Amino acid sequence: MTIAIRPLRRSLFRKYFTTIFAAVLLPIIVGGTIEAWLGYRDQRASIDSRLLSEARASSERISSFLNSIIDQMGWTVQLPVASVSPEERRFDALRLLRQAPAITEFAQADRQGKELLRVSRVVPDIVDSGRDLSRETSFQELMQNGGRFGPVYFSRGSEPYMAIAIAGEKHSTGVAIAEVNLKLIWSVIANIRVGQKGHAHVRDRIGRLIAHPEIVRVLRGEDPGDLMAVPGRQAVADDVAQAPVQSDTVIVRRGDSGAWVIAGSAIVPGPNWTVYVEQPLSEAFAPIYAALWRTGILLIAGIGVSAALAYVLAGRITGPIRLLEQGAAKIGAGQFDHRVRIDSGDELEELAERFNIMADEIALSRERSERIARLRQFLAPQVAELIEIEGSEKLLESKQADVVVVFGDLRNFTAFSAKTEPGEIMAVLEEFFTVLGRLVQKHEATQTGFSGDGFMLLLNAPVPCDDPVGRAARMAVDMQEAVQELVFRWTSVGYSIGFGMGMAAGAATVGRIGYEGRLEYTAIGPVVNLASRLCSAAKDGQILIDAATARQIGPATPLDDLGERLLKGFEADTRVFAIKMKERRVC
């Protein structure tokens, strides 16, 4: 019998390889990811803190620079305008220019905007010019909104300037206006270094550059519009042209060169400038990138180690299993002497030993099954198994024994077969012997062989039984009744077939005859001939026995005395009896 093997959905080696590979590699990936994330978080926090610290410190220094100018301007508006002479006013202004180098021009006016004094480093001084300053932006901002700081502008298109205006506490003290050169803030910004490439710069409220380590850029008067003309730097212009930052923060944006930078910012209170301290991302996150490279190298190494380890371990697991699989296939093919050898020293080796024990047991079981199959050729299954359980076939050896011989064959079968198709003949015989076979097994008789449409059975050999004659009689009656049911059906379809039986009890020589590979258990002696002749003399539905057998049956089985008959092969007449049968159905 061929057993269909379902194709594998997934090989065992691949399953174990994948599992071990994932078990080794997954912790490396998870650990590397966690390390990278924690490293990024810590480095980002450190960078944010450093950039914000530098931006806030720069903002405080710039604010301190502006406040110092305001403080120095303050004593020029302490006295009422009318109580100070022009010469004293001019002397105070000159002293202010000496103390505050960033102031390039200083002017004083009354509260209506009438100019009283103008002192400059580049043009002659003017006293009591009477010029109307009420239309100037710094004066208007001061008088209307109280603002001190004007917008940043570039004198002659180069250096950045801003006007600072203050008023005295009293209405009579007047107003002081100073033009401050913001180039001096460069020294504050130039001293700020973050790493190798980081720097700081300051932009005013509309995004114009007013302080940068590269002072040339400041002198050019660079603003967001200048960046728009440079290819690929529109995003930079968009960033710096945004509304002023309202609080200290750290952002990632494109720097002035177009590269990505991380920038901390802080507001300069008063003029509302923004100080940016920035560092290129490539430099700021260099430790993180190095850690990622290390993680990547470890990951690649981990993949190699994991693959090698998974391959070795999966091979050690699946190799013995393949040997067991091959062993099972060979044993299934009939090689019962095949043994599996596994020297792993673990459960797989123990499994191989149990497999070999199982193979031994299968071989023994197969031998036993073959012996039983041979015995079943002429013995009832129960008898065959009994002989096998006792472990000896001595019962089959030739000997003299008292047996009961039963013959039976179909009547008119020769004429039937001469005019019937082979298929119909074989169907009738198959139906006939199927019914008889069940009864042979039921009564544990020994079948010696078939002869076309007839058979010969033994009881009390090779295994003795209780009341062999009575058992044989009951078996014969059951067989006759069962076959008569078939005869009734055969007759209904036009088959003229009958069934007769003969039975005799006595001593006979029993044993196996034949040749190697083809043996039969049979009986030889006069009792066999007598049973055969009685069967030949029996009519359809009859079971004939001799007088000696009739005496052994006993009163439980009713008999009809048919008188003396001369049977073929016997010199003297034989008294014949027939076992009474139930009335048969007639078709």
Q: State which of 266, 281, 312 marks the end of a domain.
A: 312
Do the Cβ atoms of 476 and 553 come closer than 8 Å?
no
pTM greater than 0.75 (yes/no): no
Q: State which of 252, 283, 312 marks the end of a domain.
A: 312
Q: State which of 294, 312, 330 marks the end of a domain.
A: 312
Residues 281, 404, single domain; the answer is: no
Which distant-in-sequence residues (6+ apart) come within 8 Å of 258 by Cβ? 230, 232, 233, 235, 236
Residue 403 or residue 82, greater confidence: 403
Residues 165, 67, single domain; the answer is: yes
pLDDT of residue 244: 43
**Residue pLDDT, tens place only, 438-496:** 999 899 898 887 788 999 999 998 888 999 999 999 999 999 999 999 999 999 999 99
Query: What average pLDDT score do residues 182-190 get?
Result: 78
pLDDT band at 209 (very low <50, low <70, confident <90, very high): confident
Q: Which residues pair with 404 in a beta bridge?
A: 459, 505
Residues 525, 427, single domain; the answer is: yes
pLDDT of residue 508: 95
pLDDT of residue 433: 92
- What does the alpha-carbon distance between residue 90 and residue 367 come to, in Å, rounded to a whole number? 135
Do the Cβ atoms of 428 and 413 come closer than 8 Å?
no
- What does the alpha-carbon distance between residue 236 and residue 331 come to, in Å, rounded to a whole number? 80
- What does the alpha-carbon distance between residue 264 and residue 55 come to, in Å, rounded to a whole number? 6
**Residue pLDDT, tens place only, 514-555:** 777 677 789 999 999 999 999 999 999 999 999 999 999 978
Query: What average pLDDT score do residues 65-75 get?
Result: 86
Q: Tally the domains of the chain.
A: 2
Query: What average pLDDT score do residues 390-412 get?
Result: 85
* Range in 231-235, 417-421, 432-436 the model is least confident about: 231-235
Residues 430, 292, single domain; the answer is: no
Spatial CA neighbour of 110 closest among 134, 135, 88, 141: 134
Which distant-in-sequence residues (6+ apart) come within 8 Å of 163 by Cβ? 136, 137, 138, 149, 150, 177, 178, 179, 180
Residues 416, 297, single domain; the answer is: no
Q: Is residue 60 part of a domain?
A: yes
pLDDT of residue 526: 94
**Does residue 517 sit in helix, strand or coil?**
coil
Residues 404, 303, single domain; the answer is: no
Q: What share of the chain is helix, strand, coil (3-state, %, to 5)?
A: 50, 25, 30
pLDDT of residue 245: 45
Angle at 94 between CA 91 and CA 97, to 5 degrees: 155
Residue 535: domain span = 391-579
pLDDT band at 226 (very low <50, low <70, confident <90, very high): very low
* Range in 192-196, 217-221, 480-484, 493-497 the model is least confident about: 217-221
Q: Is residue 412 part of a domain?
A: yes
Which distant-in-sequence residues (6+ apart) come within 8 Å of 130 by Cβ? 114, 115
* Range in 24-38, 143-157, 262-276 the model is least confident about: 143-157
Residues 145, 255, single domain; the answer is: yes
Residues 292, 400, single domain; the answer is: no
Residue 499 has pLDDT above 90, yes or no: yes
Residue 98 has pLDDT above 70, yes or no: yes
Q: Is residue 437 part of a domain?
A: yes
Q: Is residue 69 part of a domain?
A: yes
Residues 443, 304, single domain; the answer is: no
Residue 386 has pLDDT above 90, yes or no: no
Residues 272, 395, single domain; the answer is: no
- What does the alpha-carbon distance between residue 514 and residue 449 come to, in Å, rounded to a whole number? 12
**Residue pLDDT, tens place only, 130-184:** 787 777 776 776 666 666 787 887 776 567 888 888 887 787 788 888 888 887 7
Spatial CA neighbour of 545 closest among 407, 402, 401: 407
CATH number at residue 454: 3.30.70.1230
Q: Is residue 450 part of a domain?
A: yes
In the chain, the percentage of residues whose pLDDT exceeds 70 is 86
Within 10 angstroms of residue 141's Cβ, the number of other Cβ atoms is 17
Residues 544, 418, single domain; the answer is: yes
Q: Is residue 154 part of a domain?
A: yes
Q: Is residue 463 part of a domain?
A: yes
Half-sphere exposure of residue 179, counting CA atoms within 13 Å on the CB side?
A: 17
Angle at 533 between CA 402 and CA 539, to 5 degrees: 120
Residues 468, 555, single domain; the answer is: yes
Q: Is residue 338 part of a domain?
A: no
